Amino acid sequence: MKNWKLSRKLGMLVVLAIVGVVVSIAIGLMQLREHLLQDRMLKTRHVVEVALGVISHFQKLEQEASFPPTRCVACATKRPSISSSTIWKTVR
């Protein structure tokens, strides 16, 4: 390496720097992917917990005979009527 020309030494330095940047980007992308998957799993878990809460609430109402069974099923399976404009009004 002592006999190499200056241009060859600088070229090797540039190549090593590029390899370092590429490795750093690859590690960052793998970490980002892992975080995105964890966030997706957490969101799915929260949706399932909310759904179970709604179902158990209406099951409790049905067992207490507060609601007829058909009305409990209809209420539990009804989609919420929240539009995007309503969400934006509450956010502002």
Task: Tell me what pLDDT residue 14 has.
Answer: 97
Q: From first to last of its 92 residues, what are the pLDDT tens digits of the chain?
A: 678 898 999 999 999 999 999 999 999 999 999 999 999 999 999 999 988 888 888 888 888 877 777 777 777 777 666 555 555 554 44
Is position 18 within any domain? Answer: yes
pTM of the predicted model as reported, rounded to 2 decimal places:
0.58
Please check whether residue 36 lies inside any domain of the structure: yes
In a domain, 4, yes or no: no
In a domain, 92, yes or no: no
Q: Is residue 27 part of a domain?
A: yes
- pLDDT at position 85 is 58
Is residue 86 one of the residues assigned to a domain? no
CA distance 78 to 80: 6
Domain count within the chain: 1
Tell me if 60 is assigned to some domain. yes
- Work out the number of other CB atoms within 10 angstroms of the CB of residue 20: 10
- Contact between residue 74 and residue 62 where contact means Cβ atoms under 8 Å apart: no
| Domain of residue 57, residue span | 9-79
